[in-house]
Structure formats: structure tokens, C-alpha cells
């Protein structure tokens, strides 16, 4: 009975408590698996990314809400296309800065050779191979990336953002949801191997700035489109291009890790500018949010 009352009166607190509880189980399993390879890493990764969805399901059941009310409609095509392209564009800009400045190189010969070997493309010219991999990964790889991103976004933008929107404005929602989203990653960042080799404090700083700033983009599209899938697409595209293409294809020049990936300085600098752009467009959103039904 107490849990039911808490869920009805304080759904955000209930959701966050359940997210931490379920995530803690996967965090402990992940940290315990000190020799985790590709198979275990993938399983644990799927598990942790679906914890927010599990917390949302339980919170909705306890609070009398319906999972079907979490803005499941696909939304307008223009929003979905934009949400696919935006992470690609800010990643491209960030890595062009890295490559042109010389802090990282283009391209990583070992990674390209691995791609050629695994796909059976050894006979292709290097330039053509890179282009084909980029296209195939960007289309087919997106499906797998969306499957994992969906688990997080059911919670972060499906449930949390509309609930916060009943209590604060766009800036507050973006900052609060972004900080929660970032801090949720901290256990694996601090105690695990979810970083790129820089000191923990530096990786945390860069990662937090990047996550909070892109939260302004995620929140804007979620509320503007009325669709949960815009956030899923943004999240999937971000993970896909940074983690599986731009970072691995960049060769190490010694201090490259300080500038690349989600834990280096360049991407956060670009996404802060992007956050400012969407913050200036905040008046395009309907506000205040009286209830979640407006966002279906």
C-alpha cells in the first residue's frame, strides 16, 4: 500500500528508485565480470539499457498509468530524419576537427583491416571499403542500436521528461533529465571500463557536459514531435556513429583519447553549441505541460 501511494503521489521518486535498484544488479554483475569480452559485454549492455524501461513499467502499474500513454506514435518523418542526421552531423564536425588538427588521425589501419577481414572485403580499395562500411553500418546497424536505445528512452524521455514537464520549464527539464541521465552512467564510468583511458575525473567531466547538452536536443524533439521515437532515433544514431564508426576509425596519436569519443573534449564543445541553438528555440514548444496526455 505504501508503494502504491508513493507511486501515485511521487511517481518520479518511484521511477528513479526502481531504476537505481534494477541497474544496481547489472552494475554489480558487470563489475564482477572482470574478464568480460564481447559476448558478456553485449549482454550486460543490453541489460543495463533496459533497466529504465523496467522501472517505467513497474511505476506505471503502481501509479495507475498506462504504458500505452508514453507517446508511442511514430511522429512526422521530418522529425525522424532530423533525429537521425543531427548526431551524424555533430559527430562528423567533431571528428573533422580532431583529424584536421592532428590530435587524432584518419584512418586507423588496424580497424579498417579488421572490417575488411570480417566482412570478406579484402580486395576492395580502402576508400571504397570505408564508404561501404559507413553506409551498411549506418543503415543495418541502426536497427540494433535502436533496440537498445529504446530501453533507455522509454524511461528517460517516455516517462521522466513529461513528468518533469509538469513541474518545470524546458530549461529545467533538460538540465534535470540530463544530469540524471549522466549520473546514472557514473558507476560504470568510475569503477568499470566505460571510458577511453583518460583519468576518471576528466572522462566524467566531458561525458557529463556532453550528455546534459544533448539532453536539450532530446527534450526539444520529444516535446515538439510528441513522439518517443524521436528520442530513440537520436540516441541510436549518437551511439551508432560515435561508438562504432568515428571513434574506432580514428588512429591514436598519443593524446588522442583526451579529445575523442564521449569522454574527450571535442564532442562536448560541439554539443554545447547545439544545446544553445535549441534553447533559443524553446518558445516553439507548448508550455506548461498540464498532463502527460498532451504528449501522446
pLDDT at 287: 74
- Are residues 284 and 177 part of one domain? yes
- Are residue 92 and residue 47 in the same domain, yes or no? no
Encode pLDDT of 128-172 as tens digits: 999 999 999 999 999 999 999 999 999 999 999 999 999 999 999
Question: Among 23, 43, 65, where does a domain finish?
Answer: 65
Q: Are 98 and 36 in the same domain?
A: no
Same domain, 190 and 47: no
The residue among 65, 84, 113 that closes a domain is 65
Domain boundary, last residue among 20, 43, 65: 65
Number of residues that this document lists for the chain = 296
Q: Residue 17: which domain range?
A: 1-65
Helix, strand, coil in percent for the chain, rounding step 5: 80, 0, 20
Q: What share of the chain has pLDDT > 70, as a percent?
A: 92
Judgement on whether residues 30 and 86 belong to the same structural domain of the protein: no
Q: Indicate whether 56 and 78 sit together in one domain.
A: no
Same domain, 176 and 196: yes
pLDDT at position 290, please? Answer: 60
Per-residue confidence at 264, pLDDT binned at 50, 70, 90? very high
Closest CA to 145 of 55, 39, 45, 212: 45
Q: Which neighbouring-strand residues pair with 250? A: 106
This prediction's pTM? 0.92
| Residues contacting residue 83 through CB under 8 Å, at least 6 positions apart | 221, 230, 231, 233, 234, 237
Q: Could you identify the residue written with the cell 533496459? A: 50
What pLDDT sits at residue 296? Answer: 38
Mean pLDDT for the chain?
91
Are residues 159 and 237 part of one domain? yes
Count of the separate structural domains present in the chain: 2
Amino acid at each position: 500500500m505504501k508503494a502504491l501511494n508513493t507511486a501515485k503521489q511521487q511517481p518520479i521518486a518511484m521511477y528513479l528508485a526502481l531504476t537505481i535498484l534494477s541497474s544496481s544488479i547489472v552494475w554489480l554483475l558487470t563489475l564482477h565480470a572482470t574478464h568480460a569480452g564481447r559476448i558478456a559485454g553485449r549482454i550486460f549492455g543490453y541489460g543495463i539499457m533496459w533497466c529504465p524501461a523496467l522501472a517505467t513499467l513497474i511505476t506505471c502499474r503502481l501509479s495507475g498509468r498506462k504504458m500505452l500513454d508514453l507517446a508511442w506514435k511514430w511522429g512526422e518523418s521530418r522529425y525522424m530524419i532530423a533525429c537521425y542526421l543531427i548526431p551524424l552531423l555533430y559527430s562528423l564536425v567533431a571528428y573533422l576537427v580532431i583529424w584536421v588538427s592532428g590530435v587524432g588521425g584518419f584512418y586507423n589501419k588496424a580497424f579498417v583491416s579488421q572490417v575488411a577481414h570480417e566482412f570478406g572485403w579484402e580486395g576492395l580499395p580502402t576508400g571504397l571499403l570505408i564508404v561501404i562500411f559507413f553506409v551498411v553500418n549506418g543503415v543495418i546497424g541502426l536497427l540494433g542500436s535502436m533496440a537498445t536505445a529504446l530501453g533507455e528512452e522509454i524511461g528517460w524521455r517516455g516517462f521522466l521528461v513529461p513528468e518533469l514537464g509538469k513541474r518545470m520549464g524546458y530549461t529545467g527539464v533538460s538540465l534535470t533529465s540530463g544530469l540524471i541521465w549522466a549520473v546514472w552512467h557514473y558507476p560504470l564510468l568510475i569503477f568499470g571500463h566505460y571510458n577511453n583511458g583518460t583519468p576518471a575525473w576528466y572522462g566524467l567531466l566531458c561525458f557529463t557536459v556532453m550528455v546534459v547538452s544533448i539532453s536539450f536536443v532530446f527534450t526539444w524533439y520529444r516535446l515538439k514531435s510528441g513522439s518517443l521515437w524521436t528520442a530513440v532515433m537520436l540516441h541510436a544514431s549518437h551511439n551508432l556513429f560515435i561508438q562504432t564508426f568515428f571513434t574506432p576509425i580514428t588512429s591514436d596519436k598519443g593524446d588522442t583519447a583526451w579529445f575523442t569519443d564521449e569522454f574527450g573534449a571535442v564532442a562536448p564543445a560541439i554539443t554545447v553549441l547545439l544545446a544553445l541553438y535549441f534553447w533559443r528555440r524553446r518558445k516553439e514548444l507548448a508550455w506548461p505541460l498540464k498532463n502527460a496526455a498532451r504528449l501522446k
